[in-house]
Structures are given as C-alpha cells and as structure tokens.
Amino acid sequence: MQPDWITPMEPVSVEKPFDDERYLYQVKWDGIRILSSITPAGVSLRTRRGNVRTAAYPELAGLRDCLQKNSAVLDGEVIVFGEKGIPSFNRVLKRDLAGRATKELQVKYPAVYVVFDLLFINDRILTDTPLLKRQEILAESLRPSANIVICDSYDKGTDLFHIMEQKGMEGIVAKEKEGVYHPGQKHKTWLKVKCKRETDALVGGITLENGRITSLLLGIAQEDELLYAGRALTGLNNKDLYQLGKIAQEYGSAVSPFQQPPRIERRLQTVWLPPLLTARVQFSEWSEHGLLRQPVIKSLSVKKQEIHLG
C-alpha cells in the first residue's frame, strides 16, 4: 500500500566542503521541503512536518503526467527564483503562506519542484535501497517539465561549494552513494555544508530594556511590503548603538512599518522606525518561517553614509 507521506530525512551539518568518491554532491536548495505522493487519482503535497500543501502549488499537479509509473512518493524542494536568477526564500514563503494559490500568485511567483529522491514506486518501498539505485530509478521514472526538474549530482564537493558561494546560494549536501534513506532521522549519510551568506535588510525598529538597545528588528522589502525577518544585535559596537539611539529619538514612531508586526516581550520597549536604515547582514540560513538564522550585522548605512562595523 502506498504511504501518503513519509517523514523526511535530514542532513547533519559539517563545517567544510570535501571531496570523497564515496559521496555525490547536490545543491542545497533555498525553498520549502515538499514530499509528493502521486497516484492514478492525482497528486498530494506535504511539508516536512506533514502539513498539506496541495492547494498552495497547483501547478505541481503536472507530476501525474511526468511520472512514467502508476504511483510514487518523491522527496524534493519547491523553489521560486528571484530577480537575480537564484532561489528567493521570501518569494516561495509567500506562496507557501498563501495556502491556496491564485492565478496571479502562480504567474508572479512560479513554483519549481526540484526532485532529489524517490522513496516509493509502484508498490515498492525504496527507503532501504542505496542512493545510487534510487537515483537511477528516479531518472527512469520521472520525465522533467518546465517546473518539475530532477536535481543534478556532482563528483566534486569543493568545486560545487565554491560555485554556490559565488552565487550567494545556501550551500551543498554530500550524500553517500550507498547510503539508505532514514525516515524522520537526522543522519550522517547526508552531510550539509552551508555557505556564509549576506543580505540587505531594513531596520524597522529597535527594542530596549531599561533604556538600553537589545536588538534591531529587521525586515526584507518585498515590493511595497516590509516582511519581518528577525532580530539582530551581534556586530554592533557602542558607537553604533549610540548613533542608533539618536536615530530612534529623531525618527521613532508608534506605527510599525512591518506588514505583520512581530510579537515583542512585554518587558521590552519597542520603538518603530521608518525603513531608512539598511543593515548588511551575514547569516547561516532562512528558517521555515522566513527568519534569518544566526544574523550578524556587518554594516549599517543611512541614506548614502555608511557606518562600517567591527
């Protein structure tokens, strides 16, 4: 019997890229992890946590026509490309949070499903099958289309990682060629190496405790909206904090510039700011809720005056 959903496997983090003939190497895509169940009756899509997303990505109903077999369960990532031709997490998050995609959203932010594993095919469970064999069966069973592609694999992890660094992408995943799939586990048969990434964020406010700045509230501009992207303080020195205090005194407001203001602890004072201040932020990755993980502020700029930090 075909499973509707299999708890996905997760990679283990390592610090540096490497080359090892026992592994193949793939791009770590900056998107939403989606497992797809395909039967003669249609396509069902679920997230990493098992939440149904079929209505969020209706264009992926084409999986039924791309599959050369009766039924399958695929593992992959849904991405939406940004203006620079690399995946934009904020755009795919907008699709994911919409719940049910309108035609306008599909045209504006077209979803691409990057398939990197095959877990079930025609009444046969493949989780105990070595990766190379799963990849071979996947290539035989799925015909790519404009928005459904099979993830490429590479022999050199260091070369692929450096290309991902240059492009400003998330990183790579090294996978043991003879490794089996471990549902619901974070297992070292998959190893992820993350690039140090940077982005420009707008400062939409600050939080204070007893008059001392405790964090900057960061946002990402998306057309005419400011989407909350998390808090940061690391990277700022006393001079920066003093200047931020002066900006808050002059421009502080009781009105939030964020589309959906974040919840702030009651013990903290919040001063909202118009998005005039840009922070260059280094971070490890985006969370599934669109927040920056491990953000470090590298520089601040006010209009055309730049303040270098650290």
How far lies 111's CA from each of 70, 83, 285, in Å? Answer: 24, 14, 20
Domain range annotation of the chain: 11-29+153-195, 30-150, 197-308
The structure tokens listed for 250 are: 């002059």
Which is it for the CA torsion 132, 138, 144, 150, positive or negative? Answer: negative
| Nearest in space to 49 (alpha carbons), one of 80, 94, 10 | 10
30-150 topology per CATH: D-amino Acid Aminotransferase; Chain A, domain 1 (3.30.470)
Model confidence, pTM: 0.79
> What is the full per-residue pLDDT of the chain (310 aa) written as tens digits?
677 679 999 999 999 999 999 999 999 998 999 999 999 999 999 999 999 999 999 999 999 999 999 999 999 999 999 878 899 988 998 899 888 889 999 999 999 999 999 999 998 999 999 999 999 999 999 999 999 999 999 999 999 999 999 998 999 999 999 999 999 999 999 999 999 888 899 999 999 999 899 999 999 988 788 999 999 999 999 989 998 998 888 899 889 999 889 999 989 999 999 988 999 999 988 887 889 989 999 999 886 544 455 4
The listed CATH number (3.30.1490.70, 3.50.40.10, 3.30.365.10, 3.30.43.10) that belongs to domain 11-29+153-195: 3.30.1490.70
> What is d(CA 44, CA 35) in angstroms, rounded to the nearest whole number?
8
The tokens for 43 are: 């396509």
Residues 65, 38 contacting (CB under 8 angstroms) = no
In this predicted structure, what is the pLDDT of residue 303?
Answer: 60
Considering the four listed CATH numbers 1.20.120.530, 1.10.760.10, 2.40.50.140, 2.120.10.30, the one that applies to the domain covering 197-308 is 2.40.50.140
CA 296 to chain centre: 18
